[in-house]
Amino acid sequence: MNDPRFIYTFDEGDADNRMLLGGKGAGLCAMTQMGLDVPPGFVITTEACIKYFECRRLPESLMGAVRTQIGAIERKTGKGFGSETNPLLISVRSGSAMSMPGMMDTILNLGLNPSSLKGLARATDNPRFAYDAWRRFIQLFGKIALGIDEALFDAAMVAIKRQYGIAQDVDLTAEQLRELSERFLAIVLEQTGAAFPSDPYEQLERSIEAVFRSWNGKRAVDYRRQFRISKEMANGTAVNIVAMVFGNMGADSATGVGFTRNPETGENAIYGEYLTNAQGEDVVAGIRTPKPIADMADEMPGLYRQLIELRGRLEARYKEVQDFEFTIEKGRLYCLQTRNGKMNTRAMVRTSVEMLAEGLLSKEHALLRIAPTQLEQLLVPTLDPKHKAEPLARGLPASPGAASGRIVFDADTAEQRRKAGEKVVLVREETKPEDIHGFFAAQAILTSRGGKTSHAAVVARGMGKPCVSGCDAIRIDVRERHAEVGNMTLHEGDLITVDGTTGCVYLDQMSMVEPEFFPELKTLLSWADELAQLKVYANADTPTDAALALQYGAKGIGLCRTERMFNDPQRLPIVQEMILADSPEARRAAVERLLPMQREDFKSIFKAMAGLPVTVRLLDPPMHEFLPTVSQLEFEISHLRHLRRATRSVAELPDTLRLLDPELPRVYVDILGRLQEGLVRYHQTQRDDALLARGEAMLKKVHQLVEVNPMLGHRGVRLGITYPEIYEMQIRAVLEAAAYCIKEGITTHPEIMVPQVCDAEELRRIKSLADAIKEDVATRQGVEVHFKFGSMVEVVRACLRAGSLAELAEFFSFGTNDLTQATFSFSREDAENKFLPLYVQSGILAQNPFEVLDVEGVGQLMRFAIGWGREKRPDLVVGICGEHGGEPESIRFCQYAGLDYVSCSAPRIPAARLAAAQAKLREKQYHDS
Ligand code: PEP
Ligand code: MG
């Protein structure tokens, strides 16, 4: 059977076929075909690489075709491969469809042997350069093609420098480099049992094989796994054979790298560095300091003009900022490589906006070229990228951004120290809803347990505060007020920096870069809103959250978690009273005290979101989350009992002293008198009795409320049905707040959402409660409030009964945090800490389903639910408010599944807006994929 075609010259290759020719090969073909000066060469395809792995040798026809093509290069350059007079040297470069910088091998100066070495010395009139190229080639070829340990060559280099008392490689003379080459050749002989191959074709064949092999080298395989590069994205490496050109041929020669625009700022100006009379390695090795490209305008004005022209032509061809390498050999500019430039996010945004204005990009292209997740980093303070500090420990990057502060181990201390003007970082094993004031007070949150959807992570993200979770290298001892990391002890008050973007924790304060919502970002996101179909709402619980969400472009609130309001330190005692109440009347009395507070909350949020929908979720978490834990209470009670005993002992002190010495009480009569007076006054207050009684009552209640599995227990609508006073108060607070706003001329669109619903009957009961309150509010306030009524869809049965739920619900909001948990039967708090990383690493699951929506399972349930729901109610509005609502891949699915909106925490809104636009633009491909 005939082999397919494995070789394409740069004049022939299809420049758009990166899969076949690799990115570098396709680029070289494109540039050659555009008429740019590229040294002659050809590409051996990725198919040849695959064939090599199949047959464990190079395809039969390959080397014959390679010889023909080398012949063609010899003719084009007038040089001879291995020639003693005018040698052709080549580079053998890897290059796959996806850029994998530094992961695969490349060999330079191939074709050198003892005779072509002489030719090179003569042609360059520079024997030192020739010997340097020779020793480098032996070293590179020895390592890559012959598999010799690099350390042996390095040791020989160190030895020769020591022998001649030389500090730097560059100071070696031609003669010393010749001697070094001899030693390198001896290493090759000793290690392989054969002399270094001097036949250039043998060198070439072995180099091609070595480059192919590097595709399956450990580095490359790890890289592909890490960046999830599948076979569909890149399969095998191509090999590019290119005639070498030299930038060290005199003052009219140079070498450099350029960006068509500034990759740090996005500014529309050529950017890069160059060196005259130098080779690429001089730049890489830092031997000479390169000059900014702008200097070339004076030093080599003609060539600078050519470079500017090259820049324009590359951008016009690729419609993308390019990162290119060039060499000037005796006044002739060659382009050796071009690829899409890697820029920081700010530069990406700016270039999108400017390149559209310049007519280079369409709006669609300008939006599609930026990865939405990159935007998340733009709106939070980040560590100064120039820092060199080593992290103290690593955990999960749970909420992006970085902040420094003094360690505190509990929320109360966080609040006190914050009030005293200190910046603090809340460090806990894990957090609970009652820690909320600690979140408000802290700059950042660090937990030693819990995953990216743990309480700490979700709350921190909602507030836009940095959080590192699951940092299990830190062992926290709250009672002793210290934490241990390795053999280091951290104390309360020590300064640390938490980087929630990377998951790293550092000792001391680090310098930061502040975020800003700059004009180009606003422009880009306004285009995204024009093209997107999905609306982006916010998960926001307070007026401050709402204001931030608006600033980031939210079109409403999709989830206002009311429990966050209950955790306010002023309210928590009233909430606890409500929970501890023994009768509906007592409960109602506590609830009534909460009503005006909740009403104020909603009023402020409605005002902040005037004209936009606000979805209020009725209380969701189990009651015991508002109470202290059993161990906390036991600790407090035993303290109070100790205190009682201690005060009694003080009362008995005079008698005790008298026993010891009858004179003693007389000596201390004054002190004892005052102490006893104080104690009498203290006992009269009965403070300790009251505290003890309250503690004991609370402990009893906590024992009663303890559930084996609280997340599946007495929470959500189940709580609302057993204690109707609570939902009644919340609904009243929403509707009365809306009535006040209407009277003040503020348009409000309240939506009431019921959590944890599994049956339509639950909805029916809450709906009739809401309707009755609505009537009452209308009568008392004299205004009619319209509200939408909807259901969270977060338990499996809700999906399966979606048709009947839609008879009552005007909207569904998928709570995919709980729905993922329920669909997998994974506890989200435990899974991320224990087995999920292994599941993902070993490929059982492609992604963490708590981060990226599990389209095949959870997504399937959602599609059923949407279908059945809309069958009953065609205008059913459907959204998502789980963490997935801010994750780009999940947003893509939401577009496909026909959702109306996604809702996510404020800092994720810009990324979600872009992702929503991209999801619409790529909708068709999603159908096909
Ligand atoms: C959900 O389950 O997705 C949700 C939004 O609710 P919570 O995370 O508050 O349980
Ligand atoms: Mg939920």
pLDDT at 653: 80
CA–CA dist 633, 458 (Å, integer): 27
Tokens of 660: 């010891």
Alpha-carbon gap, residue 173 to 188, rounded angstroms: 22
Give the whole-angstrom CA distance, residue 355 versus residue 260.
12
Q: Yes or no: say if 756 and 796 are a contact pair by the CB < 8 Å rule.
A: no
Dist. CA 463 → ligand 1 center (Å) = 16
Q: Which of 11-25, 287-301, 366-380 has the highest mean pLDDT?
A: 11-25
* Cα(879)–Cα(559) distance, integer angstroms: 10
Torsions phi, psi for 329 (to 5 deg): -115, 115
The C-alpha angle 714, 716, 718, rounded to 5 degrees, equals 55
Ligand nearest to the CA of 539: 1
More confident residue, 219 or 19: 19
Give per-residue pLDDT as tens, 906-916: 989 999 999 99
- What is the arithmetic mean of pLDDT over 766-791? 97
For residue 282, the model assigns a pLDDT of: 66
Nearest to 321 by CA among 367, 365, 262, 372: 262
What is the C-alpha separation between 801 and 16, in angstroms, rounded? Answer: 50
Mutate to test the pocket of ligand 1, among 620, 756, 824 (most ligand atoms within 8 A of CB): 620
How many angstroms separate the most distant Cα atoms in the chain?
121
The mean pLDDT value for 488-507 works out to 94
Q: How far apart are CA 890 and CA 557, in angstroms?
A: 19
Taking residues 302-314, report their average pLDDT: 96
Rounded Cα gap, residues 159 and 628, in angstroms: 69
- Choice from 881, 884, 887, 894 to test ligand 1 binding pocket (greatest atom count within 8 A of CB): 881
Q: For the residues 823-851, what does the mean pLDDT come to?
A: 89
> ∠ CA 358-271-387 to the nearest 5 degrees?
120
CA 607 from chain centre, in angstroms, equals: 33
821 alpha carbon, closest ligand = 1
Nearest-atom index, ligand 1, CA of 884: 3
- Tell how far the Cα of 754 is from the centroid of ligand 2, in angstroms: 10
Please give the pLDDT value at position 290.
Answer: 82
Distance CA(795)–CA(755), nearest Å, equals 10
Taking a 5 Å cut-off on Cβ, the residues next to ion ligand 2 are 794, 815, 818
Q: How much of the chain, in percent, has pLDDT values that exceed 70?
A: 98
Q: Among residues 274, 253, 235, 227, which one has the least CA distance to residue 129?
A: 253
Which ligand is nearest to the Cα of residue 904, counting in written order?
1
Query: Nearest Cα to 109, choosing from 181, 54, 26, 179?
Result: 181
Neighbours of 780 (CB within 10 A): 10
What's the CA-to-centroid distance between 795 and ligand 2, angstroms?
9
The two beta strands, 535-539 and 322-329, are unpaired
Distance 516 CA to ligand 1 centre (A): 30
**Amino acid occupying residue 628:** P
DSSP 498: E
CA 915 to CA 904: how far, in whole Å?
Answer: 12
pLDDT at 393: 95
Ligand that lies nearest to the alpha carbon of residue 817, given by its number in the listed order = 1
The closest-lying atom of ligand 1 relative to the alpha carbon of residue 814 is 3
Q: Among the ranges 364-373, 567-576, 623-632, which has the highest mean pLDDT value? A: 364-373
* Helices 584-608 and 724-743: angle between axes, nearest 10 degrees: 30
Q: Which residue has the least CA distance to atom 10 on ligand 1? A: 818
- Predicted local confidence at residue 281, as pLDDT: 67
Indicate which ligand has the atom closest to the C-alpha of 559.
1
Q: For ligand 1, atom 1, name the residue with the nearest CA.
A: 815
Active site residue 455: yes
Question: Rounded CA gap, 523 and 266, in Å?
Answer: 15
pLDDT of res. 929: 54
Task: Give kind and range of the element (H or E) at residue 641.
Answer: helix 630-651
Bigger pLDDT: 101 vs 372? 372
Atom of ligand 1 nearest to the CA of 559: 5
Distance (Å, whole) CA 608 – CA 739: 15
Known active-site residue 482: no
Q: Which of 818, 858, 887 to mutate to test the pocket of ligand 1 (most atoms within 8 A of CB)?
A: 818
pLDDT of amino acid 105: 82
Summarised one tens digit per residue, pLDDT across range 422-438 is 999 999 998 887 788 89
Q: Quick check: pTM over 0.95?
A: no
Q: At what angle do helices 127-144 and 114-124 cross, to 10 degrees?
A: 140
Atom of ligand 1 nearest to the CA of 881: 5
- The ligand placed nearest to the CA atom of residue 882 is 1
- Between 286 and 592, the higher pLDDT residue: 592
Query: For 140-165, what is each residue's pLDDT tens digit?
Result: 999 999 999 989 999 999 999 999 99
Burial of 574-592, coded b for 16+ CB within 10 Å and e otherwise, reads bbbbbbbbeeeeebbebbe
- Distance (Å) from CA 841 to ligand 1 centroid: 26
For residue 458, give the ligand 1 atom closest to its CA: 8
More confident residue, 99 or 153: 153
Q: Assess whether pLDDT exceeds 90 at residue 42.
A: yes
pLDDT of residue 928 exceeding 60? no
Which token pair is 359?
A: 């007519």
Residue 1 has pLDDT above 70, yes or no: no
SS3 annotation, 268-289: CCCEEEEEECCCHHHHHCCCCC
Which has more confidence, 663 or 592?
592
Residue nearest to atom 9 of ligand 1 (CA): 561
User: What distance in angstroms lies between residue 881's CA and the mean position of ligand 2's atoms?
Assistant: 9
Nearest CA among 638, 101, 696 for reference residue 339: 101
Q: Considering the candidates 29, 335, 437, 455, report the single residue annotated as catalytic.
A: 455
Q: How much is the mean pLDDT over the chain?
A: 91
In the chain, % of residues over pLDDT 90: 68
Cα dihedral 894, 895, 899, 901 sign? positive
| Average pLDDT of span 860-877 | 98
pLDDT above 70 for 182:
yes
Spacing, Cα 918 to ligand 2 middle (Å)? 27
CA dihedral 491, 496, 498, 503 (to 10 degrees): -70
Query: Which residue puts its alpha carbon closest to atom 4 of ligand 1?
Result: 815
* Backbone torsions φ then ψ of 515, nearest 5 degrees: -85, 165
> Is the sign of the CA dihedral 615, 621, 627, 629 positive or negative?
negative
Query: Residue 921: which residues within 8 A CB-CB, separation 6 or more?
Result: 364, 367, 368, 531
Catalytic, out of 471, 504, 881, 904: 881
Q: State both tokens at 25.
A: 């090969």
Q: Of the ligands numbered here, which is closest to the C-alpha atom of 619? A: 1
pLDDT digits (tens, 9 = 90+) for 530-571: 999 999 999 999 998 999 899 999 999 999 999 888 888 889
Res. 234: pLDDT tops 80 = yes
Q: Average the pLDDT over 164-172 and give the result.
A: 85
Burial class (CB in 10 A: 0-12, 13-18, 19+), 465: buried
Label residue 287 by pLDDT band (50, 70, 90): low
CB-defined site of ligand 1, < 6 Å: 559, 561, 620, 794, 815-818, 881-882
Q: How far is the CA of 621 from the centre of ligand 1 (A)?
A: 10
Q: How confident is the model at residue 41 (pLDDT cuts 50, 70, 90)?
A: very high
The answer to whether 392 and 510 have CB atoms below 8 angstroms apart is: no
If you measure from the C-alpha of residue 598 to the centroid of ligand 1, how many angstroms do you get, rounded to a whole number?
21
Q: Which residue puts its alpha carbon closest to atom 6 of ligand 1?
A: 815
User: Using CA positions, which residue lies closest to atom 8 of ligand 1?
Assistant: 817
Nearest to 303 by CA among 244, 258, 262, 341: 258
Lowest mean pLDDT among 18-32, 313-327, 640-654, 858-872: 640-654
Pocket test for ligand 1, best of 618, 625, 792, 903 (most atoms within 8 A of CB): 792
Query: Helix or strand or coil: residue 442?
Result: strand
How far apart CA 9 and CA 33 sit, in angstroms, is 11
Question: Which is higher by pLDDT, 646 or 511?
Answer: 511
Q: Which one has a higher pLDDT value, 221 or 809?
A: 809
Q: Which two tokens stand for residue 687?
A: 């403070």
Please report the DSSP string for 578-615 in residue order: HHH-SSHHHHHHHHHHHHHHHHHHHHHHHHHTTTSEEE
pLDDT at 106 over 70: yes
Indicate whether 284 pLDDT > 80.
no
For residue 917, what are its two tokens? 């636009």
Q: Return phi, psi of residue 70, to 5°.
A: -65, -40
Helix (H, G, I), strand (E, B) or coil at 44: strand
Q: How confident is the model at residue 869 (pLDDT cuts 50, 70, 90)?
A: very high
Q: What is the mean pLDDT of residues 578-592?
A: 90
> How many angstroms is it from 528 CA to the middle of ligand 2?
29
Span from the CA of 86 to the centroid of ligand 1 (angstroms)? 73
Spacing, Cα 75 to ligand 2 middle (Å): 72
CA atoms within 13 A on the CB side of 842: 6
Interatomic CA distance for residues 769 and 779, integer angstroms: 16
Per residue in 403-459, pLDDT (tens digit) is 999 999 999 999 999 988 899 999 999 888 778 889 989 999 999 987 776 788 878
Of 281-285, 506-510, 925-929, the range with the lowest mean pLDDT is 281-285
What's the confidence (pLDDT) of residue 745?
A: 97
* Cα–Cα dist 603/363, whole Å: 39
CA distance 53 to 869: 52
Q: What would the DSSP string read from start to end of 402-422?
A: EEEEEEESSHHHHHHHHHTT-
